[in-house]
Amino acid sequence: MTTLPAKTEKKLGLVIDLDTCVGCHACVISCKGWNTENYGAPLSDQNAYGADNSGTFLNRVHSYEVQPAGDAAAQLIHFPKSCLHCEDAPCVTVCPTGASYKRVEDGIVLVNEYNCIGCGLCAWACPYGARELDQAEGVMKKCTLCVDRIYNENLPEEDRQPACVRTCPAGARHFGDLGDENSDVSKLVAERGGMDLMPEQGTKPVNKYLPPRPKDEMPEFDVLAPFLEPVAEEPKGFLGWLDKTLEKL
């Protein structure tokens, strides 16, 4: 079995804003594209255009209709899900070959595909369903936080972040060191009340979710009020004449 590091130097992870995500699946497509063309073995598809199709994805978006407490209106919540890079990752400790491991330098959980035998124990142990067996390759796949992007000095600095974060058109995904209380992602979690997914599992997920705001409590945009008022109660001059002329037609 594989052991977890007692402590990691960083806690790199994602903060996902459920209030902002529009369920466009851009993160899903960019993740599939980047990880198929670059790091590790490609993410295969089986019978992609047939009735009984299947495939391997490291990031998926689920949509749920949620009824808040009280008389608030029901909300459609788009819920992206991928590996949460847990501090106490059960997928690592059950791995019989050491293929699953957690990096000391940044806390990212990875799979060494050369050592993976596809036994599926890690998928069984993960309470979030974040691991998938690639049928073509016969090994387990999971989110890598685009480890080959974030440290790649050949890329422009703005591109050194996970593909899903770089692609999100709504700005719903954020990446950074959640072990640093002064980082932008840590401040965002503190300001918005970021939550763990299924904290009762005791896995201490690094990734956080920002809760959606009630849609019935949207702020009033008083700043626009002066621009919505008519310029004059009755038009004068040429416009006044034109208005009266048009009324006679």
Residue 237 placed within a domain: no
Write the burial class of residue 168 (CB in 10 Å: 0-12 exposed, 13-18 middle, 19+ buried). buried
Give yes or no for residue 56 having a pLDDT over 80. yes
Residue 130 placed within a domain: yes
What is the CATH number for 112? 3.30.70.20
DSSP readout, 94-155? T-SSS-EEE-TTT--EEE-TTT-----HHHHH-TT---EEETTTTEEE---TTHHHHT-TTS
The H helix count followed by the E strand count for the chain is 8, 11
Residue 159 placed within a domain: yes
Residue 6 placed within a domain: no
Give yes or no for residue 39 having a pLDDT over 70. no
Question: pTM to 2 decimals?
Answer: 0.83
Give residue 232's pLDDT.
Answer: 59
Residue 178 is part of which domain span?
12-222
Residue 5 placed within a domain: no
- Determine how β-strand 139-141 pairs with β-strand 132-134: antiparallel
Give mean pLDDT, residues 127-155. 94
Give residue 102's pLDDT.
Answer: 97
Residue 228 placed within a domain: no
pLDDT in tens, 62-104: 999 988 777 777 889 999 999 999 999 999 999 999 999 999 9
Residue 4 placed within a domain: no
47 confidence band (pLDDT: 50, 70, 90): very high
70 membership: H or E segment, kind and range: none
Residue 232 placed within a domain: no
pLDDT in tens, 23-35: 999 999 999 999 9
Give residue 246's pLDDT.
Answer: 80
CA 202 centroid distance within chain: 21
Mean model confidence pLDDT for the chain: 90
Give yes or no for residue 204 having a pLDDT over 70. yes
Domain count, the chain: 1
Give mean pLDDT, residues 166-178. 97
- Determine how β-strand 12-17 pairs with β-strand 208-210: parallel
Other beta carbons within 10 angstroms of residue 183's beta carbon come to: 18
